[in-house]
């Protein structure tokens, strides 16, 4: 019994009832237009006449007009907003945004027609039945009410009047049952008619892929710039601590390197955080442009890397496109960070060669004789290098070879993104 009462009068049933009444209100302008058309045909005295042919004729004309207006793209987000709030259907089962395809518009039109059609019937019943039902319930208690209702003499007996309150209550229960059934029907049809189409799902998947790629790009930026700086600062600070009392000049140089590294890294960190704060697509497009250090600032990176680096170049690196130059800088930076983490201050050999339509980067450092001491767990640097190269249409690999750790990357100059 409790479950039945909840289904008829519970919070969800009341919200769906409200949703149906909203549908009836939305149909009203179309219904008024229908009365103008039907009124002369049925010889009605006015648009609010009690004539059933007028009422249902206007209703029959209103529905096709409502269906036609719901074909506009913006009809779907409006319908979805109301259904999400009042139908009790999980929000993720609805489509987002205007209906773009013809099929989506037709389904939205079908939903809108169903909503306003059922809503008009339930709204009309909700206005007409409760006063009549309450009158029936109170009929045995008031002779004046019976006179007002013009109850026939043969029904004005206690046994006949005793049936009036149950009949009134039955009407109210029937109204609640019809409203609950209509609301449940709308709730079942909402995901079917307002749910995402294959085109909507594809667009949502593309948006998620774009957002994921952007997050991964920002993660690589933070990892490469901040990770390299921390590794270099750790090594410089550790070396300075060991010779603090015996070589003040080295300590001074180490502190200067730490200061310069942290200053540069703060600038890069501010740039990356700026990308996170963009608020619209135009800012996002601008943020996607090439920013940050490139190969023309490579000398400064090598001087403050914390490891001795032997650099060999071949070709005019200034001719490398800005996007490729920037990614090449990050690849070199991460390679130096890995060497610093895992091999300490061992010398690094670096070759950057401009060969035809590709930029080749090769980096070698001796394999450490013991486990890493700075970050034993390793990190995501090598994978980030591979991702950077792949986004440009190239490839990269890293691993032990003979007695050295070798990192190699090939980046097409016409890099894509």
> Where along the chain do its domains lie?
2-196, 201-412
Alpha-carbon distance of 83 to 74, in angstroms, equals 15
Q: What is the pLDDT of residue 162?
A: 80
Tokens matching residue 203: 């667009």
Q: What b-and-e string marks burial along 322-346, b requiring 16 or more CB atoms within 10 Å of the CB?
A: ebbbbbbbbbbbbbbbbbbbbbbeb
Beta-bridged to residue 240, according to DSSP, are none
- Residue 149, pLDDT score: 67
Tell me how far apart the alpha carbons of residues 399 and 284 are, in angstroms, rounded to a whole number: 36
> Would strands 358-366 and 348-355 be described as parallel, antiparallel, or unpaired?
antiparallel
Question: pLDDT for 23-55, tens place per residue?
Answer: 999 999 999 888 888 877 776 565 556 677 888
User: What's residue 291's pLDDT?
Assistant: 62
pLDDT at position 374 is 43
Write down the mean pLDDT value for the chain. Answer: 81
Regions of the chain short of the pLDDT cut 50: 279-288, 290, 371-378, 417
| Two structure tokens written together for 316 | 């005019």
Cα dist from 23 to 116, 177, 184, whole Å: 4, 18, 15
Q: Rounded distance, CA 40 to CA 158, Å? A: 47
The pLDDT assigned to 276 comes to 65
**Which CATH number does the domain 201-412 belong to among 3.30.565.10, 3.20.20.10, 3.90.245.10, 3.30.200.20?**
3.30.565.10
List the structure tokens of 27: 């149909």
**Cα 220 to Cα 241: distance, rounded to the nearest angstrom:** 31
Cβ neighbours of residue 54 under 8 Å, at least 6 residues apart? 35, 38, 39, 42, 44, 47
Tallying the residues shown for the chain, one arrives at 417
> For residue 96, what are its two tokens?
């987002």
Distance CA 126, CA 177 (A): 12
Task: Quote the tokens at residue 344.
Answer: 């300490």
CB 187 within 8 A of CB 131: no
**What's residue 154's pLDDT?**
55
Only one residue has tokens 């096709």, namely: 64
Q: Taking the chain, what is the end-to-end CA distance rounded to the nearest angstrom?
A: 63
**Chain position carrying tokens 């939205």:** 108
Residue 343 vs residues 36, 170, 324, 373: alpha-carbon distances, Å: 88, 86, 28, 9
Burial 380-413 (b: 16+ CB within 10 A, else e): ebbebbbbbbebbbbebebeeeeeebbbbbbbbb
pLDDT of residue 197: 79
């Amino acid at each position: 019994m409790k479950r039945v009462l909840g289904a008829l009068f519970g919070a969800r049933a009341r919200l769906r009832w409200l949703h149906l009444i909203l549908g009836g209100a939305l149909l009203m302008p179309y219904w008024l237009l229908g009365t103008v058309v039907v009124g002369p045909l049925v010889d009605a005295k006015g648009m609010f006449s009690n004539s059933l042919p007028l009422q249902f004729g206007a209703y029959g004309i209103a529905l096709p007009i409502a269906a036609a207006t719901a074909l506009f793209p913006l009809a779907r987000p409006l319908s979805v907003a109301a259904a999400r709030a009042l139908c009790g259907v999980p929000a993720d089962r609805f489509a987002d945004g205007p209906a773009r395809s013809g099929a989506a518009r037709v389904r939205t039109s079908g939903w809108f027609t169903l909503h306003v059609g059922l809503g008009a019937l339930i709204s009309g019943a909700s206005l007409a039945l409760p006063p009549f039902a309450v009158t029936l319930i109170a009929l045995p208690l008031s002779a004046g009410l019976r006179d007002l209702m013009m109850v026939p003499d043969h029904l004005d007996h206690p046994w006949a009047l005793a049936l009036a309150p149950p009949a009134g209550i039955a009407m109210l229960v029937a109204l609640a049952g019809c409203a609950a059934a209509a609301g449940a029907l709308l709730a079942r049809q909402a995901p079917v008619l307002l749910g995402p189409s294959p085109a909507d799902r594809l667009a949502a998947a593309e948006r998620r892929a774009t957002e994921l790629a952007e997050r991964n790009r920002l993660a690589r930026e933070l990892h490469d710039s901040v990770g390299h700086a921390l590794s270099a600062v750790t090594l410089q600070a550790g070396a300075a601590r060991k010779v603090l009392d015996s070589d003040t000049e080295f300590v001074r140089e180490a502190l200067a390197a730490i200061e310069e590294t942290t200053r540069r890294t703060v600038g890069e960190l501010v740039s990356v955080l700026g990308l996170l704060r963009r608020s619209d697509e135009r800012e996002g497009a601008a943020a996607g442009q090439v920013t940050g250090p490139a190969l023309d600032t490579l000398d400064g990176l090598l001087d403050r890397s914390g490891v001795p680096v032997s650099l060999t170049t071949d070709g005019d690196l200034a001719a490398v496109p800005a996007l490729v130059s920037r990614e090449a800088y990050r690849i070199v930076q991460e390679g130096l960070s890995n060497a610093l983490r895992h091999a300490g201050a061992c010398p690094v050999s670096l070759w950057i060669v401009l060969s035809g339509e590709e930029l080749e980067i090769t980096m070698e450092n001796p394999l450490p004789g013991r486990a890493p001491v700075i970050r034993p767990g390793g990190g995501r640097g090598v994978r980030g290098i591979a991702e950077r190269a792949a986004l440009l249409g190239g490839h990269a690999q890293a691993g032990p070879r003979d007695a050295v750790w070798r990192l190699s990357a090939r980046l097409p100059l016409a890099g894509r993104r």
